[in-house]
Amino acid sequence: MKIHFLGTTGYHPNNRRHTLSIMIPEMGIILDAGTGMFRSRELLQTDFLNIFLTHAHLDHSIGLTFLFDILLGKKLSHVHVHGAPGCLSALENHLFHPTLFPVKPPFDFVPLTDSYPLPGNGELTYFPLIHPGGSIGFRLDWPDKSLAFVTDTTATEHAKYIEKIKNVDLLIHECYFPDGKEDQAKLTGHSCLTPVAKVAKKANVQKMYLVHMNPLSTEEDPLGLDSVRNIFPEIYLATDEMVLDF
Ligand SMILES: [Zn+2]
Ligand SMILES: [Zn+2]
């Protein structure tokens, strides 16, 4: 299985990164629909597409408006956009308001149920995260592997979601701020580096890739990952168009 990082930053794109979107082409799955989602067109290999949204903030949802081009000339049996009911109704009423985006691309909104079956005998489940306006995290389990996706929340050692991501092989977690910006992190509902490393350690995950970095920080390693390898060694920064063999 391959995991494609279509976009890896938060808030707005910069010259290195588009906003968050992750694709598992052979499963027909996209996690979040940031500006990076335009890249899914070349990677589509299923005759269906399931897009799961953590929340409706524009850096995670604007890519839904790209679906006319993404799907152009492709024959798909269905394109479903899954999310919490409040997230989907906000998008339907606002992002696709007739004044803003008058013709809705060919997809259906499908409110999330407790668990969703995935190809390969897998299952997707979700759990709530603390973030202004709300967000949810996802866990995807197959018989031989598992991954969790946690973005737009403030990591702490005592976060409730830690129990939901226990023992996953791969954790994709947001890290908007380096250490030292704890006040801003709390205010905006985002994470600093050390607490994220502690979450990964406490959840006993195998490997972690960070996404949703501050788009104003365009350097190679804006967070200083070496400073937390003593807490959690298997920590890496995701980059746009990176492909993980999973
Ligand atoms: Zn965001
Ligand atoms: Zn957000």
Question: Which of these, 51, 44, 38, lies nearest to 25 by C-alpha position?
Answer: 44
The span from the CA of 43 to the CA of 62, in Å, is: 19
Q: What is the DSSP string of 98-157?
A: TTTS-S--S-EEEE--SEEEETTTEEEEEEEE--TT-EEEEEEEETTEEEEEE-SS---T
- Cβ(1)–Cβ(29) under 8 Å? no
- Structural domain boundaries in the chain: 2-245
**Quick one: pLDDT at residue 135?**
98
How far apart are the C-alpha atoms of 242 and 22, rounded to whole Å? Answer: 10
Q: Does domain 2-245 have CATH number 3.90.1150.10?
A: no
Q: How far is the CA of 108 from the centre of ligand 1 (A)?
A: 23
How far, in Å, is the centroid of ligand 1 from the Cα of 55?
A: 8
Using alpha carbons, select from 212, 169, 246 the residue that is nearest to residue 59. 212
Q: What integer pLDDT is reported at residue 21 of this predicted model? A: 98
pLDDT score for 22: 98
CA–centroid distance, 75 to ligand 1, in Å, is: 31
Ligand nearest to the CA of 174: 1
* pLDDT under 50: residue ranges of the chain: none
Separation of CA 46 and ligand 2 centre (Å): 29
Burial 200-231 (b: 16+ CB within 10 A, else e): bbbbebebbbbbbbbbeeeeeebbebeebeeb
Q: Tell me what pLDDT residue 109 has.
A: 98
Quote the pLDDT of residue 115. Answer: 93
- Rounded Cα gap, residues 191 and 232, in angstroms: 16
Helix (H, G, I), strand (E, B) or coil at 23: strand
Q: Residue 6: its pLDDT value, please?
A: 98
Centre of ligand 2 to C-alpha 55, Å, is 7
In the reported structure, the alpha carbon of residue 73 is separated from the centroid of ligand 1 by a whole-number distance in angstroms of 31
Looking at the chain, the whole-number percentage of residues with pLDDT higher than 70 is: 100
Judged by its nearest atom, the ligand closest to the C-alpha of residue 20 is 1
CA 218 to chain centre: 20
Quote the ligand 1 centre to 246 CA distance (angstroms): 25
Average pLDDT, the chain: 97
